[in-house]
């Protein structure tokens, strides 16, 4: 992911929304108040959800203290980025392009793209219909701790084109004290998710909590794309994974103008992005999210 871009988003969100955002990436339900700059040593520990990631953060602080301090200080560099954004452009000058995203080091975590044949032997399903393959895919994943879906080719084509334009986005997960934010980044036919606090602590080395893989081998001949969602169960539960996957579907596979605007803003005008807008969308999405099983769904 693009480190400067992420820092800019985090720094400006609190300023623009008058919301206190912690370094962990949560917006609490009682956080609509004036921003208060915490002491550097308290930036992480004051977060009400800190215990969930405390061991990993402490390990980084112990093993790489300089890197830990550097990452904390990076969050407080907002004035540098704000000033840069405020520089007036010369008359007639082209707008500056958005920073290119730098991927999480997914391959080092075993998250490289696998072929469909590594899961289901292609020679055994070539003569089956799309419906028969769909049923096999659902049955294969029914008792596994992962997500699965069957996506019609036109729907996936739309999703993939949009993902190429807007590879980064931020999704909220509801919590008792507010929302936890999770970053997502597309790369090819995969999408990686990591918690905001882990990104701030580890940056591009942040552990991946969820990977959605889209297998396109059957897209042309059978008219379907098979999706598999693999998660680190120590970091994320199946219900949270399903909430993220469903939100992704509604942002990337549909043509809702407001959601598209949020994708555009997050990727191209990060200092105009407001976390509260994503929360509002999530609250509106509750009536639209699919009602099928979170472990297996067919998207249309």
Does residue 101 carry a pLDDT above 80?
Answer: no
Give the chain's mean pLDDT: 76
Q: pLDDT digits over 284-299, tens only?
A: 876 555 444 445 556 5
Give the domain ranges of the chain: 3-86, 115-298
**Long-range contact pairs involving 117-126 (C-beta distance under 8 Å, separation at least 24):** 117/217, 119/215, 119/228, 122/217
- Give me the phi and psi of 27, to 5 degrees please: -115, 110
84: pLDDT strictly greater than 70: no
- The crossing angle, in degrees rounded to 10, of helices 65-75 and 3-17 is 40
pLDDT at 51 over 70: no
Sign, CA torsion 164/165/168/169: negative
What's the pLDDT score for residue 47?
Answer: 56
CB 194 within 8 A of CB 206: yes
Two structure tokens written together for 175 = 């919590």
Better-scored residue on pLDDT, 180 or 45: 180
Helix (H, G, I), strand (E, B) or coil at 111: coil
> What secondary structure letter does DSSP report for 173?
E
pLDDT above 50 (res 39)? no
Angle at which helices 275-285 and 257-268 cross, to 10°:
150
pLDDT at position 203 is 79
| pLDDT 10s digits, 179-195 | 999 999 999 999 999 99
Whole-model pTM over 0.85: no
Q: Which residue has the tokens 């520990």?
A: 45
What is the residue whose two structure tokens read 């452009």?
89
What is d(CA 196, CA 172) in angstroms, rounded to the nearest whole number? 10
| pLDDT attached to residue 143 | 87
Average pLDDT over residues 231-252: 95
């Amino acid at each position: 992911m693009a480190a400067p871009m992420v820092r800019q988003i985090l720094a400006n969100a609190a300023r623009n929304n008058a919301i206190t955002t912690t370094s962990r990436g949560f917006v609490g339900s009682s956080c609509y108040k004036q921003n208060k700059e915490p002491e550097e040593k308290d930036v992480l520990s004051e977060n009400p959800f800190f215990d969930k990631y405390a061991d990993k953060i402490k390990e980084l602080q112990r093993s790489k203290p300089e890197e830990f301090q550097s990452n904390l200080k990076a969050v407080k560099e907002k004035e540098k980025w704000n000033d840069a954004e405020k520089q007036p452009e010369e008359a007639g000058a082209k707008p500056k392009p958005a920073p290119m995203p730098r991927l999480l080091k997914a391959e080092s975590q075993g998250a490289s793209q696998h072929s469909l044949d590594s899961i289901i032997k292609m020679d055994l399903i070539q003569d089956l219909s799309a419906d028969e393959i769909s049923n096999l895919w659902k049955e294969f994943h029914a008792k596994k701790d992962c997500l699965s879906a069957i996506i019609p080719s036109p729907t996936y084509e739309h999703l993939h084109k949009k993902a190429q334009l807007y590879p980064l986005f931020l999704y909220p997960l509801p919590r008792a004290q507010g929302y936890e934010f999770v970053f997502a980044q597309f790369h090819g036919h995969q999408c990686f998710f990591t918690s905001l606090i882990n990104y701030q602590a580890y940056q591009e080395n942040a552990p991946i909590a969820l990977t959605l893989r889209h297998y396109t081998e059957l897209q042309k001949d059978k008219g379907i794309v098979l999706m598999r969602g693999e998660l680190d169960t120590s970091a994320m539960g199946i219900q949270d994974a399903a909430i993220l996957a469903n939100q992704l579907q509604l942002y990337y596979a549909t043509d809702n103008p407001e959601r598209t605007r949020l994708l555009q803003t997050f990727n191209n005008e990060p200092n105009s992005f407001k976390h509260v807008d994503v929360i509002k969308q999530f609250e509106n999405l509750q009536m639209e999210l699919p009602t099928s099983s979170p472990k297996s769904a067919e998207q249309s």
